[in-house]
Structure 1
Amino acid sequence: MSISKMTVSRSQNSATRQCVGFGQRVSRCRRIPAAVPWPGRGRRWVVGEVCQSAAMDGCGGDGGGTVGTIETRTFPAVQTAALATESLRRGVAKLKLEAPALTSGIIRLQVPIQQRIQAIDWLSSQPHLLPRTFFSGRSRSRAIDSAHNTSNGSHPFNHHHLLGAAGVGSAVVFHRLHCFSYNDWASIKRFLSKKCPLIRAYGVIRFDSRANISPEWEPFGSFYFMVPQVEFDEFEENSMLAATVAWDHACSWTWENAVESLQSTMEQVSSNNVNLQKDLPLIPIHSYTHVPSKTFWDRAVDRALQEIDRSNSELTKVVLARSTRIVTSVDIDPVTWVACLQKEGKNSYQFCVQPSNAPAFIGNTPERLFHREGLGIKSDALAATRARGRSPIEDIKIEHDLFSNPKDDLEFSIVRETIKKKLEAVCDAVVVEPHKSVRKLPRIQHLYAQLTGRLRSEEDEFEILSTLHPTPAVCGLPTNEARDLIAETEVFDRGMYAGPVGWFGGGESEFAVGIRSALVKRGLGALIYAGTGIVKGSNPSSEWDELELKISQITRSLKLEVAQAPN
């Protein structure tokens, strides 16, 4: 067994920093009702025999530097997931015999598997374990059809080749109602190290921390991150099963607490991995309701255009969103939905975050907020939308129209130049390449640019997150003016929709923008979210059609069938 270990002490940065998601400004928001009546509001949601792990509150400590030890212990490689599960159970049982001298730490036990298994398949085999999380990278090379190819074990388990990660249970959870602050970021970083790159905290942050939280979003708080107790990692040619134990006396969570909780979760983990079916029959939709309706949408867009045209207004763009509640004839399993999204998800991130006693927040987003590796930073400018053509010739014509349309160029330029300016505030140099291109997805296409820069310090990771979010692609410009108009206009809580979703690691982190997303509850249907940018020249009906196009990217993946569209 090999061990990677770090035992260090890091001084706490006591500087006062801003929050992510407008937290630096004084709230003037009203209490936001649920987007549409959701049966069961106010009650705890427990389905069947759901098993929920006890977890350490990572925000509850004193934040006094890195935990005492951060380790990765690698066991011999095995051929199957079942053998990996048994190996981990034995390894976790032996932890009871240890008595660490340090009062805090985090240890990851990992077993390489000499075949590639899809992380989403493993997650679907653990239906009763909560909380759970899934994140699949966008730009990694992928061969879904050959996901179960075997290898001879010679291919290295390099974290740079990680395609997707699924986790259940939480070794440590970070969750609060207040906005995500520098101190919260520092609390997460206490448990992470460059020497243990696969110890990561996965999670999501609200679009707007100033807005009050509506009932359907309450379990998420203003942010929710977790280091999974049991994690399945999918690589290009192989896989890995891992178990993580974390303890900290300052958080009132001892070694004994942590090992007992992990052992309980491991006993619930299924070793029977099955291929998840990703081609499903049509699922009839009994009903669906838009908030706002088409009539009120037209009024909202007209009001936004009036504000943009006002002579003394600084507003040039605002992104207005819509929530759609669907009720289906059968339960929608969120993991199955994510698997269907993954099948069509070329050049997109797929994600699922589900706290205990909560709905699942899922999505298939093409938009990267940022990817940090060391000091290097990459971000995307993505705006303007068209459908794909039904033939290659039609597709080229649509692409040309998208590329040359003045209204779309204005919307895209606002996004690109604003992100560039924000990056320049924390980076030594920013390069935009390509300056303007078309990114084609399976069903739609967008104007796109990639921006790269170099941070002055890795400690600026929080600054880049709080600076970039929200981008003009999901909020508008100027940011605060657009946000105020959104708060005054929208009558539902965006929650985590359009917020940062992704992970923090020791030397690397990656966040997408949580668009093309839905909140899913078994037995109660789903809330599906979509938004569109309003600039000078926008037309309410055209923008409504764009919402329909965007929402179809989610519904068609699961073959949801709508008989007739409501107003």
Structure 2
Amino acid sequence: MSAPSRPAVHPPAAARFFRSPSPASNRLSFPTPRCTVYRGCSLSMNGCGGDPDAPVGVCQTRTLPGVLDSESAIGELKSAVLGLKSDPPRFGSGIIRLEVPIMQQAEAIDWLHAQQTLPRLFFSGRGRRADPGIFFGTGNGGCSGAPGVVSVAGVGSAVFFQRSDPFSRDDWRCIKRFLSEDCPLIRAYGAMRFDARANISSEWKSFGSFYFVVPQVEFDELEGSSMVAINIAWDDTLFWTWDRAVNELQNTMQKISSIFEKLRKEVPKVIILNKYHMPTKASWNFAVKKALQMINAGDSGLVKVVLARSTRVLTDTDIDPIALLACLQAEGHDAYQFCIQPPNSPAFIGNTPEQLFHRRDLNVSSEALAGTRARGGSSAVDFHIEQELLSSSKDNLEFILSICNQVMIEPMVAIRKLHRLQHLYAHLSGKLRSEDDEFDIMSSLHPTPAVCGLPTEKARCVIAHTEMFDRGMYAGPVGWFGGRESEFAVGIRSALVEKGIGALIYAGAGIVEGSNPSSEWMELELKASQFTKLIQHAVPQPCYQELDNMGTIS
């Protein structure tokens, strides 16, 4: 299905910031990629073609006895699949998860690095314990929760969900029909575009307007243990029968590497051959000044707009997206790490500090981040920067605007300290009337003022007629849907990475009254630095320790 055309929205002339007579020539895009060899791309069904009103016949999880390591787990799962093949379920549709706990404690990202099957995914949530990275301006606080999944890595597609049209309630219901409260670890992982109404550029084509997948094979890193699992999904009405689903799963399982090693976060030198910013600094300055004119004039109604930049990085050697993500994870304890890579596509990876929402049963929470400063070189300098951020009128205005249309309780202003950056922060919570409100919560929260602006539609219109590159899923929702629980982050601090074609690094800055173009450019540099500094000092080379010899993995 082709992408929908852009709606005929015509902002004031001042909003057309860095358009040129030949906009197509300025659009950042990837060259034809050099061939990246994967062992295979799994075939699957697109669940969006199903009947959203018809629940699947069976949704079931079966837990097999625990084993010592992942290799033994794969062996047990292969045997179990043979048993299922000889005694198929008597339903025309369904999803079955088989899982094997393992005594081998390992990291999901190390398992994923050893796999070569597409699609592949990774999602690492933040700890639910009280967060030592949050420092409150007044009072104190934190959040806690039950132990659970730390990280999930998956390959292959039991069922995927993708369209070129914007994500709809029916699409959400098509996903939910394969999920169940009784099977909480059957989850659909993926992401959505920042602006589903914008045309999709070549580098984002494989993602569509949204892309979610229930993996065929996954490695679950739990608190204190691990688990290997497989998912089998079928629907006769979609011409994806039980036999076909099982055969494709068996093909994928033959490609799984059960021997994987601990990826050490040691990096060789990598030369950055060139960097291309879109927009250039001169165009950025012009755009920010024009935005400030609109904001200060008051007649347009625009209060805030978030302008973004795409930086194309070319290096002398390939960038391994999973190895780069491992580096981000090593320094991103207070952030979400993610990777979404459909077949024949670059990998969308990120290290985002911002939660969009988290639902557990009917309880829902969200948060808002705004304002950015670098961390100080010493405790004294860091404290001074923290106090300056709390007292900054511009940043406090940006912060208030970022939460004013999504407050569920009165927030408390705080500072969230990350490895390189610190932000203004507030935690929000509420309760849903029913699980059907989940779609409405996502629709109302995205896009947040922190990544779009206010009023939302005016800001989106300015962005759509300003930026000469496709944001794709940058600043869009990224996360997972489950039967009992769902969690989404905002896909900022993110990049598209693939062997042979370099990387596109995305960053944005909120423009409000009092913004300065040079300061906002420096904010972009700060946000992109978590990628560029790692790339400059390179990405982990294949330097490993055997799992059997390394004891506990930190």
TM-score where L is the length of structure 1: 0.87
Determine if contact 2:29/2:203 at 8 Å carries over to the other structure.
Answer: no
Structure 2 counterpart of 1:427: none
2:352 aligned with 1:365, yes or no?
yes
Structure 2 counterpart of 1:432: 410
Q: How many angstroms apart in 2 are the aligned matches of 1:329 and 1:60?
A: 43
Determine if contact 1:67/1:191 at 8 Å carries over to the other structure.
Answer: yes
| Residue identity in the other structure for 1:132 | R
Structure 2 counterpart of 1:38: 30
Report 1:30-69 matches (<5 A). Answer: 35-40=27-32, 46-69=35-58
| Residue identity in the other structure for 1:454 | K
Which residues of structure 1 form unaligned runs of 5+?
1-22, 143-157, 421-429, 562-567
- What do residues 479-510 of structure 1 show as CA deviations (whole Å, max 9, x unaligned)? 00000111111110000000000000001100
Alignment CA distance shift 1:111-1:34 (3 Å): farther
Structure 1 counterpart of 2:270: 283
Determine if contact 2:476/2:491 at 8 Å carries over to the other structure.
Answer: yes
| Residue identity in the other structure for 1:228 | P
Alignment CA distance shift 1:118-1:140 (3 Å): farther
Determine if contact 1:109/1:244 at 8 Å carries over to the other structure.
Answer: yes
SS in 2 for 1:100: coil
Structure 2 counterpart of 1:445: 422
Q: How many angstroms apart in 1 are the aligned matches of 2:198 and 2:322?
A: 29
Structure 2 counterpart of 1:122: 111
Structure 1 counterpart of 2:519: 542
Structure 2 counterpart of 1:149: none
Report 1:3-42 matches (<5 A). Answer: 26=7, 28=9, 35-40=27-32
Q: How many angstroms apart in 2 are the aligned matches of 1:124 and 1:141?
A: 28
Structure 2 counterpart of 1:466: 443
Give RMSD over aligned pairs.
2.0
| Residue identity in the other structure for 1:129 | T
Q: How many pairs align?
A: 511
Alignment CA distance shift 1:335-1:140 (3 Å): farther
2:123 aligned with 1:135, yes or no?
yes
Q: How many angstroms apart in 2 are the aligned matches of 1:178 and 1:46?
A: 29
Q: How many angstroms apart in 2 are the aligned matches of 1:49 and 1:235?
A: 28
The alpha-carbon deviation at position 560 of structure 1 amounts to 4.1
2:460 aligned with 1:483, yes or no?
yes
Report 1:254-293 matches (<5 A). Answer: 254-293=241-280
Match of 2:87 among 85, 98, 103: 98
Determine if contact 2:313/2:502 at 8 Å carries over to the other structure.
Answer: yes
Match of 1:419 among 406, 415, 431: 406
Alignment CA distance shift 1:489-1:394 (3 Å): same
| Residue identity in the other structure for 1:81 | S
TM-score where L is the length of structure 2: 0.89
Q: How many angstroms apart in 1 are the aligned matches of 2:294 and 2:282?
A: 19
Give percent identity, aligned residues only. Answer: 56
| Residue identity in the other structure for 2:62 | R
Structure 2 counterpart of 1:530: 507
| Residue identity in the other structure for 1:313 | S
Structure 1 counterpart of 2:14: none
Q: How many angstroms apart in 2 are the aligned matches of 1:133 and 1:160?
A: 22
Q: How many angstroms apart in 1 are the aligned matches of 2:113 and 2:26?
A: 29
Q: How many angstroms apart in 1 are the aligned matches of 2:154 and 2:147?
A: 18
Q: How many angstroms apart in 1 are the aligned matches of 2:5 and 2:405?
A: 19
Structure 1 counterpart of 2:298: 311
Determine if contact 1:159/1:197 at 8 Å carries over to the other structure.
Answer: no
Report 1:238-387 matches (<5 A). Answer: 238-387=225-374
Q: How many angstroms apart in 1 are the aligned matches of 2:320 and 2:228?
A: 23
Determine if contact 2:5/2:198 at 8 Å carries over to the other structure.
Answer: no
Determine if contact 1:432/1:452 at 8 Å carries over to the other structure.
Answer: no
SS in 1 for 2:317: coil
The alpha-carbon deviation at position 114 of structure 1 amounts to 1.5
Determine if contact 1:280/1:559 at 8 Å carries over to the other structure.
Answer: no
* Greater displacement, 549-558 / 83-92: 549-558
- What do residues 249-304 of structure 1 show as CA deviations (whole Å, max 9, x unaligned)? 11110001100000000010011021112221232111110000001000110110
SS in 2 for 1:458: coil
| Residue identity in the other structure for 1:491 | M
Q: How many angstroms apart in 1 are the aligned matches of 2:189 and 2:342?
A: 12
| Residue identity in the other structure for 1:544 | W
SS in 1 for 2:104: coil
Which residues of structure 2 form unaligned runs of 5+?
11-18, 131-144, 539-554
Q: How many angstroms apart in 1 are the aligned matches of 2:537 and 2:439?
A: 39
Q: How many angstroms apart in 2 are the aligned matches of 1:141 and 1:169?
A: 32
